Amino acid sequence: MGDSVHATREGGFNNPNKDRRVSEERWIIIPDTHEPLVSREMFAEVQEKIKRQVQNIHARNAGLEHEKTPENFFLGKCICACCRKNIGVVRSNSGSNCFYYRCTTTPFNRHMKCVAHGRIKYQELHNVVFQVIKSHMKLCLEKTEQTRERNRSSYGVRQYHFYAGEIAKVQNSICKAKSRERGLYEDYKDGIITSEEYLQYQQSYREQAAELEKAVEEMLERRKCYKKDFLPDENWVATVKKFMGKRKLTKEMADAFVESVVLDKEGNVEITLKYDDFLKELIRTAEER
């Protein structure tokens, strides 16, 4: 229109925290200060359309019951892929009862730059996480049963007895190493070995026994994988059975399973569960032949 407008805000020069917009009646308007970009008629028409649109939005939202912001199921676990700051639950910019998980870093934060500001609908993220947990639980039970079936076969029985035999052999070697260590002192007293040799042999036998004991622990773990009543991890299986019948995500389920959720600018998520390593080991055990 060619007008210049001044004094639209106040209080922000010395104190940015009190910067605020003033009412249009207090604006200082100087007409015809530059070449107009649009006619006054066109400007007035556009302003009237904007006013009607705002009124329509307010009227539509006024008819809705203003819901309370729902609970964040992933507090401290859901982060932005860009700035690594926590993701929060926010209402849609339209003011409707539509909520999102969104990065909480503001675009004007000079100390925490974030170019992503990804978001995903509240219920959509819950559905995605629930499907991941559901697949995880199903696979846990399937692979546990698959392992038990293998252990009941002739192959499984042979493997169990093989490890039992190997464990007995190594335990016998441990007994021999400890017996030799005990006999060193008598050899030292009788002058068969020197004090330096005594300490050297003692350390050697102790290291040998420690290595053998470590080997026994590993074989005991391997033998567990061939038990007929095989159970990968008692707490894990108990957690799976507790939530297996659920039909939607609950806060308790999210707390029990979710380790982290990373949200990128496209709204894609990377979900890590607390028991992912257990599941990988279970799959390896079940498929071992």
- Identify whether 197 is part of a domain: yes
Number of domains composing the chain: 2
- Identify whether 179 is part of a domain: yes
H-helix or E-strand spanning residue 169: helix 154-189
- Identify whether 119 is part of a domain: no
Domain match, 158 and 263 both: yes
Q: Which residues contact 109 (CB under 8 A, 6 or more apart)?
A: none
Distance, in Å, from the CA atom of 78 to the CA atom of 80, rounded to the nearest integer, reads 7
pLDDT at position 170 over 60: yes
Q: How confident is the model at residue 1 (pLDDT cuts 50, 70, 90)?
A: low
Q: Which of 62, 93, 108 lies at the terminal end of a domain, its last residue?
A: 62
Q: Which residues pair with 21 in a beta bridge?
A: 9
- Helix pair angle (122-152, 154-189), 10° resolution: 80
Domain match, 33 and 139 both: no
Domain around 208: 125-286
Q: Are 257 and 273 in contact (CB under 8 A)?
A: yes
Q: Which of 26, 44, 62 lies at the terminal end of a domain, its last residue?
A: 62
Q: Are 223 and 164 in contact (CB under 8 A)?
A: yes
Domain match, 276 and 150 both: yes
pLDDT of residue 249: 96
Q: How confident is the model at residue 9 (pLDDT cuts 50, 70, 90)?
A: confident
Domain match, 29 and 129 both: no
Domain match, 146 and 261 both: yes
Q: Which residues contact 44 (CB under 8 A, 6 or more apart)?
A: none
Q: Which residues pair with 9 in a beta bridge?
A: 21
The pair of three-digit structure tokens given for residue 237, joined into one six-digit string: 């299986």
Domain match, 130 and 53 both: no
Domain match, 20 and 157 both: no
- Identify whether 243 is part of a domain: yes
Higher model confidence: residue 31 or residue 146? 146
pLDDT of residue 114: 73
Higher model confidence: residue 139 or residue 185? 139
pLDDT of residue 227: 92
Greatest mean pLDDT among 80-89, 98-107, 176-185, 268-277 lies in 268-277
Domain match, 51 and 161 both: no
Domain match, 149 and 275 both: yes
- Identify whether 76 is part of a domain: no
Domain match, 145 and 36 both: no
pLDDT of residue 59: 64
Q: What is the mean pLDDT of residues 233-237?
A: 87
pLDDT of residue 203: 92
- Identify whether 181 is part of a domain: yes
Higher model confidence: residue 38 or residue 245? 245
Q: How confident is the model at residue 61 (pLDDT cuts 50, 70, 90)?
A: low
H-helix or E-strand spanning residue 155: helix 154-189
Distance, in Å, from the CA atom of 219 to the CA atom of 167, rounded to the nearest integer, reads 7
- Identify whether 155 is part of a domain: yes
Greatest mean pLDDT among 8-12, 106-110, 236-240 lies in 236-240
pLDDT of residue 77: 94
pLDDT at position 12 over 60: no
Distance, in Å, from the CA atom of 87 to the CA atom of 146, rounded to the nearest integer, reads 39
26-30, 170-174, 261-265: the lowest-pLDDT one: 26-30
Q: What is the pLDDT of residues 246-279, one digit of tens each?
A: 999 999 999 999 999 999 988 899 999 999 999 9
3-class DSSP assignment, residue 272: strand
Domain match, 187 and 279 both: yes
- Identify whether 113 is part of a domain: no
Q: What are phi and psi of 43, to 5 degrees?
A: -60, -45
Q: What is the mean pLDDT of residues 282-287?
A: 90
Domain match, 29 and 160 both: no
pLDDT of residue 79: 92
Q: Which of 33, 62, 91 lies at the terminal end of a domain, its last residue?
A: 62
